[in-house]
Amino acid sequence: MHKQKIHIVGICGTFMGGVARLAKELGFKVSGSDANTYPPMSTQLENLGIELYEGYRAENIPADVNKVIIGNTIGRGNPELEFVLDNNLPYTSGAQWLGENVLQNRWVLGVSGTHGKTTTSSMLAWLLEDNGLAPGYLIGGVPENFGDSARLGGETPFFVIEADEYDTAFSDKRSKFVHYKTRTLVINNLEFDHADIFSDLKAIQTQFHHLIKTIPSHGQVICNSESPAIDEVLELGCWSEQRSFAGPNSDWQAVKKADNAEQFDIIYKNEVHAVNWNLIGDHNMHNALAAVAAAHHVGVKVVDAVGSLSTFRSVKRRMEKIYEGSPYGSKIRVFDDFAHHPTAIEQTVSGLRNSVGQELIIAILEPRSNTMKQGVHKNLLPRSLDKADSTLIYASDQVKWDIHELADEKITTYSESHALLEGLIHQLQTLDQPANILIMSNGDFEGLYDRLIEKLSYRSS
């Protein structure tokens, strides 16, 4: 039988790379292109037998292609998109293709919200996996319990997906999550973000209400009761079961037993279940509540889900320790985290502070998201970084505001990443106490991670 051919324009993002992996598992012949094809995604795709092209050219598209999938970063003027339109080739978005080819007839568990989607969806997938439900999943990161960002599954109907509110495609400005046919929905929190797509919070709330309209009456919406913006969405109408978490009067509650939330109790229907795990921070405690609640909706007993939390290994780039040593005498630990919104930054820094006590914290931040580049949240940054002892901020020339506005006695600003690295090394050389370096960016930070570790490791050798 002839394999259907699909070509993915913009294949190397985590989401589209996951779509490519799932298509390959379904038996499609897959090719794809991107402006930059680089490891680890390029390596993962090539190992799957997917033909990759660097740069966008009309000739990349196979002559006998059955469908072209257009990534949501691709706009008019892209040579491949123009070729598709000029030649009337069949095309779709990644989200719509997923809904039609993977998620049909599946019990979809969607994890949405401004923060915590990747961690919570990874956690939820693990709770199902560890309790024999073998879910498929598509996650915007690499869950360390699995090692891949996507898999088809199919032994059971369950599929866990990170339900992103970003727009679907150049011709479909609805959020991607409206395509997913979700039955169990988590809404972790809701704040203004994606200023390049949405004009204000109300515009985002409109998309979330579109999502709620798609949940069946026998489905379940699991919401953070401490997010007023979510309450406003629910007041527009909800036709499904509702469960709440986080607040003191919620269906699902948590009580900390340690300041850093490494130990806490989950309380559900007056039953108390003790959690002892490897993550830190109140935000992760609430992520766990949401994941346990969602797993419970598909039949996992609370006691079993709580037991599985102890073996959850988080996600790469979510407070991931990437170095520990004493190159200059005092102990230095380096953490990599994806935080890029002031709320997530504050949660991450606070979680580390509660974990390390009075040890030194040096925060390093790259304002890289489109919202940050536009300066929407710039006035919130100093407060979000307050629990760090010092902060080094780098802004490329793509940042549309003057990064040096933030400089004060605790914050040092840089317009070149190599100057930031030199300033950091100078600071580390003078240390007389342990230090925790927390690097926060949703990008590659111009290779700062590798350059820093190379310098520290060379000193240690």
* DSSP for residue 155: S
- Residue-range domains of the chain with CATH: 5-94 (3.40.50.720), 103-309 (3.40.1190.10), 320-460 (3.90.190.20)
200 or 320: which leads in pLDDT: 200
The answer on pLDDT for 374 being more than 90 is: no
Both tokens of 39, joined, read 């490891």
Which is nearest to 107 in space by CA: 136, 129, 138?
Answer: 136
Question: Which pLDDT does position 440 carry in this prediction?
Answer: 86
The answer on pLDDT for 259 being more than 80 is: yes
E strands present in 288-378 = 320-325, 332-337, 360-365
Phi-psi region of 42 (alpha: psi -120 to 50; beta: other; left: phi over 0): alpha
302, 308, 314, 320: CA torsion to nearest 10: 120
Both tokens of 130, joined, read 């560890």
Query: What does the alpha-carbon distance between residue 212 and residue 216 come to, in Å, rounded to a whole number?
Result: 9
Per the DSSP assignment, residues forming a β-bridge with 138 are 150, 161
The answer on pLDDT for 416 being more than 50 is: yes
Residues 6+ apart with CB under 8 A from 319: 279, 280, 281, 335, 336, 337, 348, 351, 352
- Cβ count near 292 (within 10 Å): 28
**For residues 420-424, average pLDDT:** 89
Span 54-72, pLDDT tens digits? 999 999 999 999 999 999 9
Q: Which amino acid would we find at residue 314?
A: S
351 or 10: which leads in pLDDT: 10
Question: Which pLDDT does position 1 carry in this prediction?
Answer: 44
For every residue of 76-104, DSSP letters joined together read: TT-HHHHHHHHTT--EEEHHHHHHHHTST
Q: Residues of the chain with pLDDT > 90: what percent?
A: 54
Both tokens of 325, joined, read 């040593």
Best mean pLDDT range from 42-56, 81-95, 328-342, 408-422: 81-95
Q: Residues of the chain with pLDDT > 70: what percent?
A: 95
The answer on pLDDT for 37 being more than 80 is: no
The answer on pLDDT for 461 being more than 70 is: no
Cis peptide leading into residue 79 (ω within 30°): no
* Under 8 Å between Cβ of 109 and 124: yes
51-55, 106-110, 153-157, 192-196: segment of lowest average pLDDT:
192-196
**For residues 248-276, average pLDDT:** 92
- Cβ count near 220 (within 10 Å): 21
Rounded to 5 degrees, what angle do the CA atoms 316, 329, 279 make?
Answer: 25
14 or 108: which leads in pLDDT: 108
Question: Which pLDDT does position 2 carry in this prediction?
Answer: 59
- Cβ count near 283 (within 10 Å): 24
For every residue of 415-439, DSSP letters joined together read: SSHHHHHHHHHHHHHT--S-EEEEE
Which is nearest to 340 in space by CA: 289, 381, 296?
Answer: 381
Residues written for the chain:
461
Question: Which pLDDT does position 296 carry in this prediction?
Answer: 98
Question: Which pLDDT does position 371 carry in this prediction?
Answer: 64
Q: Which residue has the tokens 């109907």?
A: 157
Calculate the average pLDDT of the chain. Answer: 89
Span 314-362, pLDDT tens digits? 766 677 888 888 887 788 889 888 776 787 788 788 888 888 888 899 9
Question: Which pLDDT does position 180 carry in this prediction?
Answer: 96
Both tokens of 341, joined, read 């919104």
Span 175-189, pLDDT tens digits? 999 999 999 999 998
75-109 core/surface letters (b: 16 or more CB in 10 A; e: else): eeebbbbebbeeeeeebbbbbbbbbebbbeebbbb
The answer on pLDDT for 240 being more than 80 is: yes
Give me the long-range contacts of 45-53 (CB less than 8 A, separation at least 24): 45/11, 45/12, 45/17, 45/20, 45/21, 48/20, 48/21, 48/24, 49/24, 50/11, 50/20, 50/24, 52/11, 52/12
Question: Which pLDDT does position 360 carry in this prediction?
Answer: 92
The answer on pLDDT for 3 being more than 50 is: yes
